[in-house]
Structure 1
Amino acid sequence: MLENENSESHEAKEYVGLADFVAEGDEQLSFSVGDKLKVHDMSSDVWWWAELQGHFGYVPSSFLHQTAEGEEDAWQDDEYFGNYGTLRLHLEMLSDKPRTETYRQVILSNSAALRGKVVMDLGCGTGVISLFCARLAQPATVYAVEASSMAKHTEELVRQNGCEGVVTVFQDRAENLTLPGKVDVLVSEWMGNCLLFEYMVESVLLARDRWLKEGGMMWPSSACLTVVPCQAFSDYRQKMEFWEKPYGLDFSYLQSLAQKEFLSKPTFSHHLLPEDCLSTPADVITLDMVTIQVSDLEVNRLNGGFSFNVEKSGIFHGFTVWFSAHFQSLEEDGPSLELNTGPFSEITHWKQTLFMLDAPVTVEEGDIIVGSICLQRNPVWRRHLSITFSWNINSTEDKKVQTKCFPMWR
């Protein structure tokens, strides 16, 4: 990298990388998400002169963030728990019958095995899962843990449903939680968009390591991220083709701006029609809730490969992602249950998430789309992540691997 003679003439400011950047040429500086760089010159809005481990070069300013230590974590928790202190999200979740009914069926099908057990319901919200346990099984006790202000209403709901003899509500974060003893079962509905958004899973793992008895049960027991290449004609027409000739006027000049604005981030609450799948979906990442560690959630630990055989000719607009959660029975020969948020199951409030390519590609039956997906946790906003797709169609030497990174919220 080029050395900057004036690099020490101004006091450098420390920034953290929000995403990977690969230099194109000797004047640029490569870095990875989470790297700490010293920025010496910010005279350009787009490119800054920075230093990493004694190497200097230009870096894109949009890939960096400066923050005071501890500032963002406190802000995030206030926002996060504040949202769950109101009824809006709880109405959405309780109205989701496939989600809520799956948890009820898990409790019901394990009711005999839950007799006399100690259960923790982490992130209990209004306490619906705790109430299922108390009403449908005979556990010794249920610890309903909720960090938001909803906890005070949950206590009243427990009393109104006559379950105060079984269910005890704790208003606390998992990281600060103190319980009377360890638990036999840890149940939680921690899943977010693309499985990990909000990273409540970290709190679940911390609670598991501290409070779950050896050999205890985790519900969900495992969770899986699924991907499929797809068509998305409606989305592409609304966001890109619209600018070609609205009201008989040529607005095509705005299409490049529309691409940056509308296709750079995923589309949440997307409803993928089964006929828009170009291939059989593939499970790309599986989390075993007994063995996964908090460290596995960090940079480059969560990635998976895929190889799709295109089953019908069409237009490849992008990838659609969803997840499934699996619940192992407490009894050795008992039935396992699944909550699937994909397009072939009853629709949930998560629906699916669409990641669109910058430009659609025509594919033919028999084509092969090979690539990978990587989930990277944001090093600053810890409840956010980015998802990077890399892919190649009919892997040939003359076809460059395409890569696109999508921030999930930041």
Structure 2
Amino acid sequence: MYRKIVMLKQSSRNDKTFKWGQITLSQRGFLQGICLSFRAGERLVVLTKTSSDWWWAELRGVCGYVPSSYLQPSDPGKEEEDPWQDEEYFGNYGTLRLHREMLSDRPRTEAYRQVILTNSPHLRGKVVMDLGCGTGIISLFCARLAQPKAVFAVEASSIAEHTKTLVRQNGCEEVVTVFQCRAEELSLPSRVDVLVSEWMGNCLLFEFMVESVLQSRDRWLKEGGMMWPSGATVCLVPCQAGSYYAETMCFWEQLYGLDFTALQPLAQMEFFSRPRFSHLLQPEDCLATPCDVINLDMLSLQVTDLEELNGQFIFAVEKAGMFHGFTSWFRVQFQNLDRDGTTLELDTGPYSEPTHWKQTLFMLDHPVPLVGGETVSGNILLHRNPVWRRHMTITIQWSISSTEDAENCQVQTKSFPMWR
């Protein structure tokens, strides 16, 4: 369980400092684990209970393994902060900065416009909910392009006041009604035929707006109604990241004629212990064909399913290169209302036009040279933080094998908190 904890036991050293350094962990395939150094009485945050003896934790912005027997809960009776961090979350969406970024993302915005335009004959006379409508761009598309009976535009942040103005300014007030409230507090005059939302975050689920979408589906979507997106897919590929590795690690080799390599272990923990958002993967840096690791059906997905999502992968290395890490992105699908099997897709990967999400990079602790014909296989786990509900940890377990020596491979695991 993710929680704040405090160090109790003390070492025999006079300074009462635990200094574990870098050790080899034999349990459950954790190899060459980075372990945190800490003093008795310090507080840290447990991110993942990777085994009964070793937990993956964070201390002062640095992540590593800690021995579970040295920890105990900190201030169990103290009231925790808001686990949804609503004030911060909705505060960010109450400013124009994020909305400008999203509206400037043409692949994203055009995908929704095209879905509505393509389905306009079937939307005529229907009731649509636009959940998390922001400035109301999707609601305005519906009203202008499809002649629906009504559009319920739902937005919890303060931008909703301006959305009402935009609806009036664009002559859509007879069709579009703006509801300024959280989805969980929503009261509508009727159920809806279509629930549309742009809920996706980094690695698809980050911020977990999808929970509000699923709860709204269960409360307000008519039987036989449609969800947009109707499906979602998490994609993964082993990759090179030479320029980022040089920027964060090689930088410390020689500075002004001086040896700064002593800072490389610190740089590794600081830059590689968390995912790198807004990474732009070049297609030529993919070491294999990308793999779909997780698929979601938005009509059948349940809120409880979000706690842990697990996917498998097997990559056949197609060319020699330096294996720096894995890159992830997502695709979402929009099924047509006539259910003829036709779908429109929004792809945020490296082979499509860049979106504001870009891709997410997960760096290994140390790069590994690969040659064509080798295989990288394993699994990926998206584990929702049990306390901080908009956050999650992504754990990737992998091994590398060759056709000549398929049985001699080491299993390695690394966990990446996003963000807590």
* TM-score (structure 1 length as normaliser): 0.86
Q: What does 1:97-246 correspond to in 2, within 5 Å?
A: 97-246=106-255
Please state how far the C-alpha of 1:31 moved relative to its aligned partner.
6.9
Match of 2:5 in 1: none
Match of 2:350 in 1: 343
CA distance in structure 1 between the partners assigned to 2:391 and 2:275 by the alignment: 13
Match of 1:404 in 2: 414
CA distance in structure 1 between the partners assigned to 2:348 and 2:293 by the alignment: 15
SS for the counterpart of 1:98 is helix
Match of 1:58 in 2: 70
CA distance in structure 1 between the partners assigned to 2:86 and 2:306 by the alignment: 19
Q: What does 1:30-41 correspond to in 2, within 5 Å?
A: none
CA distance in structure 2 between the partners assigned to 1:249 and 1:379 by the alignment: 46
Match of 1:287 in 2: 296
Match of 1:21 in 2: 50
- Structure 1 pair 121/67, CA: closer, same or farther in 2 (3 Å)? farther
Contact conserved, 1:73 with 1:382, CA < 8 A, in 2?
A: yes
Letter in 2 for 1:137: A
Q: Tell me the percent identity.
A: 66
- Structure 1 pair 367/303, CA: closer, same or farther in 2 (3 Å)? same
Please state how far the C-alpha of 1:399 moved relative to its aligned partner.
2.9
Deviates more, 1:268-277 or 1:334-343: 334-343
Letter in 2 for 1:406: F
Matched, 1:268 2:268: no
Please state how far the C-alpha of 1:20 moved relative to its aligned partner.
1.7
Alignment size in residue pairs:
371
Match of 1:53 in 2: none
Structure 1: gaps (5+ residues): 1-5, 8-13, 24-28, 34-45, 51-56
- Structure 1 pair 66/384, CA: closer, same or farther in 2 (3 Å)? farther
Cα offsets for 1:126-147 (capped at 9, x unmatched): 0000000000001000000000
- Structure 1 pair 353/365, CA: closer, same or farther in 2 (3 Å)? same
Contact conserved, 1:151 with 1:171, CA < 8 A, in 2?
A: yes
Contact conserved, 1:47 with 1:58, CA < 8 A, in 2?
A: no
Letter in 1 for 2:243: S
CA distance in structure 1 between the partners assigned to 2:158 and 2:191 by the alignment: 25
SS for the counterpart of 2:114 is helix
Q: Which runs of 4+ in 1 moved over 6 A?
A: 46-50, 63-67
CA distance in structure 2 between the partners assigned to 1:210 and 1:153 by the alignment: 27
- Structure 1 pair 339/88, CA: closer, same or farther in 2 (3 Å)? same
Match of 1:393 among 397, 400, 414: 400
CA distance in structure 1 between the partners assigned to 2:286 and 2:146 by the alignment: 41
CA distance in structure 1 between the partners assigned to 2:151 and 2:288 by the alignment: 44
- Structure 1 pair 67/279, CA: closer, same or farther in 2 (3 Å)? farther
CA distance in structure 1 between the partners assigned to 2:180 and 2:327 by the alignment: 37
Contact conserved, 2:274 with 2:418, CA < 8 A, in 1?
A: yes
Letter in 1 for 2:282: L
Match of 1:379 among 360, 383, 386: 386
CA distance in structure 1 between the partners assigned to 2:77 and 2:189 by the alignment: 38
CA distance in structure 2 between the partners assigned to 1:110 and 1:398 by the alignment: 54
CA distance in structure 2 between the partners assigned to 1:184 and 1:280 by the alignment: 38
Matched, 1:328 2:308: no
CA distance in structure 2 between the partners assigned to 1:136 and 1:47 by the alignment: 54
CA distance in structure 2 between the partners assigned to 1:66 and 1:252 by the alignment: 41
The alignment yields a C-alpha RMSD, in angstroms, of 2.4
* TM-score (structure 2 length as normaliser): 0.84
Letter in 2 for 1:73: P
Please state how far the C-alpha of 1:15 moved relative to its aligned partner.
10
SS for the counterpart of 1:290 is coil
- Structure 1 pair 319/401, CA: closer, same or farther in 2 (3 Å)? same
CA distance in structure 1 between the partners assigned to 2:360 and 2:75 by the alignment: 26
Deviates more, 1:222-231 or 1:390-399: 390-399
Contact conserved, 2:400 with 2:410, CA < 8 A, in 1?
A: no
Cα offsets for 1:124-182 (capped at 9, x unmatched): 00000000000000100000000001111000000000000000000011111110010
Please state how far the C-alpha of 1:16 moved relative to its aligned partner.
8.4
CA distance in structure 2 between the partners assigned to 1:84 and 1:168 by the alignment: 19
Contact conserved, 1:184 with 1:212, CA < 8 A, in 2?
A: yes
SS for the counterpart of 2:295 is strand
Q: What does 1:290-369 correspond to in 2, within 5 Å?
A: 290-298=299-307, 301-333=308-340, 335-369=342-376
